[in-house]
């Protein structure tokens, strides 16, 4: 939410929300595109970025259909501004397939089901392929029963959790998704880590194409934010991470090496145990219900010695089964929130999903995404080693 925070972008976005006029929106987009994307590297069209990902995956034995699904998943993350989960992850997926840790041809299958639930085996396929299958199943069940809940075992990293909420929202439904991940969070009071960043997402459709999209890790921050402070040689705020002895640290270098993230809330005094509880909640919906690896049994981040065997959960809900007028009520409520008086006039009140909308508008305006040089270098190496047509900047 804080990744895009220029004064003019937010103020113009605020005007968009109030005016909702095409002209105002376009002015906002132009202003933002200057602020956000003018960093001096070439622009890559989304279509070419997708093509490149799919080509790379096909080169290591992935069926084209599945390569396209993964490409769509990763580029959605970049488009929404979540660069850590986009093109940045491609070489990891390629390595997992090359190392035999993930089967790029595998299709998920249902183990057992009711009209409203299903337990699925991901068969160690690509997480994006497994995820889209499971959410489709949850959607189908929600359309018949009002709610559908699908839990999968033997899955792999599935990208941004919000992707599956969006999938349900395209059908006019509420969507939720959860995944367990490699252990990085230290439970409240513990020295070591035992839970992942364990994200959860809820998406809900409002009126006139507006929407609420919450997509959050249950840790205070992701490792990437600590890495940025480390590079700048700046301290981290109290409440982000612990050192190896389990004490709160504000040293970014110590925090990065220890990899003991604190749960949302930070220290116990500030209710960090609630974030820890939410991390366990996600694990209950994933590893506990799904029968996959869980908690400390999940392979460490970067471990290439064993399969991920992740558990994931997908829920779709038909708002039509409850009080009529859901999208209108949600729009009214979000409008109220966005129009609240801010403590700092330069920082208007947003709702979850707004920062991503800002980023998408800027990408649309620029005609593509602008990757950092390090990312472009990785793509170049991948293109060469896999003998794939390289990314073509516009």
Site for its own copies in 259-298 (CB under 8 A): 264-266, 268-271, 273-275, 277-278, 280-281, 283-284, 287-291, 294-296
214 binds its own copies (CB under 8 A): yes
Instruction: Report 78-117 residues binding its own copies (CB under 8 A).
Output: 112-117
Distances from the Cα of 63 to the Cαs of 67, 72, 107, 122, 364, in angstroms? 6, 14, 11, 16, 29
11 binds its own copies (CB under 8 A): no
Query: For residue 288, how many other CB atoms are within 10 A of its CB?
Result: 18
Nearest-angstrom CA–CA distance, 137 and 327: 23
Q: Which x/- pattern, by CB under 8 A, does the window 152-191 give for its own copies?
A: -x--------------------x------------xxxxx
350 binds its own copies (CB under 8 A): yes
Which residue, among 38, 45, 41, has the nearest Cα to 9 in the 3D structure? 38
Nearest-angstrom CA–CA distance, 324 and 326: 6
Complex with its own copies: residue 94 or 310, whichever CB lies closer: 310
Residue 88, helix vs strand vs coil: helix
In angstroms, give the least distance from the CB of 9 to its own copies.
14
343 binds its own copies (CB under 8 A): yes
In angstroms, give the least distance from the CB of 97 to its own copies.
26
* Residues touching its own copies, count (CB under 8 A): 87
Residue 202 phi, psi (nearest 5):
-135, 130
In angstroms, give the least distance from the CB of 73 to its own copies.
22
123 binds its own copies (CB under 8 A): no
Nearest-angstrom CA–CA distance, 361 and 195: 35
In angstroms, give the least distance from the CB of 186 to its own copies.
8
In angstroms, give the least distance from the CB of 98 to its own copies.
30
Nearest-angstrom CA–CA distance, 140 and 118: 11
| Tokens coding 300 | 């460490």
Residue 59, helix vs strand vs coil: helix
385 binds its own copies (CB under 8 A): no
Which residue, among 245, 282, 249, 281, has the nearest Cα to 267 in the 3D structure? 249
Give the interface segment with its own copies, choosing from 18-26, 165-173, 346-354, 358-366 (CB under 8 A). 346-354
In angstroms, give the least distance from the CB of 18 to its own copies.
16
In angstroms, give the least distance from the CB of 14 to its own copies.
11
Nearest-angstrom CA–CA distance, 134 and 136: 5
326 binds its own copies (CB under 8 A): yes
User: Exactly one of 130, 241, 317, 391 binds its own copies (CB under 8 A); which one?
Assistant: 317
In angstroms, give the least distance from the CB of 137 to its own copies.
13
Contact 139, 107 (CB under 8 A): no
- Whether the CA torsion 83, 367, 55, 128 is positive or negative: it is positive
């Amino acid at each position: 939410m804080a990744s895009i925070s220029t004064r003019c972008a937010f103020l113009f976005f605020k005007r968009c929300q109030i005016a909702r006029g095409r002209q105002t929106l376009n002015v906002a987009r132009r202003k933002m595109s200057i602020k956000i994307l003018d960093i001096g590297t070439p622009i890559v069209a989304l279509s070419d970025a997708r093509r490149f990902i799919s080509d790379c995956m096909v080169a290591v034995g992935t069926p084209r259909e599945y390569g396209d699904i993964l490409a769509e998943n990763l580029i959605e993350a970049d488009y929404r501004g979540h660069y850590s989960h986009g093109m940045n992850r491609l070489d990891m997926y390629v390595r997992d397939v090359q190392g035999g840790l993930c089967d790029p041809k595998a299709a998920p299958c249902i183990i057992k089901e009711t009209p409203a639930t299903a337990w699925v085996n991901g068969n160690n396929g690509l997480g994006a392929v497994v995820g889209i299958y499971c959410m489709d199943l949850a959607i189908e069940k929600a359309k018949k029963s009002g709610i559908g809940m699908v839990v999968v075992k033997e899955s792999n990293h599935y990208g941004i959790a919000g992707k599956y909420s969006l999938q349900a929202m395209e059908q006019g439904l509420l969507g939720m998704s959860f995944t367990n991940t490699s252990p990085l969070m230290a439970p409240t009071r513990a020295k070591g880590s035992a839970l992942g960043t364990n994200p959860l997402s809820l998406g809900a459709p409002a009126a006139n194409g507006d929407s609420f999209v919450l997509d959050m890790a249950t840790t205070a921050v992701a490792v990437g934010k600590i890495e940025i402070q480390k590079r700048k040689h700046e301290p981290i705020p109290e409440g982000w991470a612990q050192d190896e002895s389990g004490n709160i640290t504000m040293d970014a270098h110590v925090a990065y090496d220890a990899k003991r993230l604190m749960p949302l809330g930070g220290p116990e005094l500030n209710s960090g145990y609630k974030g820890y509880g939410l991390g366990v909640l996600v694990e209950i919906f994933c590893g506990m219900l799904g029968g996959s690896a869980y908690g400390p049994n999940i392979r460490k981040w970067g471990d290439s010695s064993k399969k991920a065997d992740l558990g994931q959960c997908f829920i779709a809900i038909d708002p039509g089964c409850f009080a009529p007028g859901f999208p209108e009520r949600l729009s009214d409520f979000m409008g109220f929130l966005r129009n609240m008086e801010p403590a700092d006039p330069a920082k208007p009140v947003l709702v979850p999903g707004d920062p991503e909308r800002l980023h998408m508008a800027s990408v649309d305006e620029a005609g593509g995404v602008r990757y950092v040089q390090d990312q472009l270098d990785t793509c170049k190496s991948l293109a060469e080693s896999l003998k794939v047509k390289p990314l073509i900047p516009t």
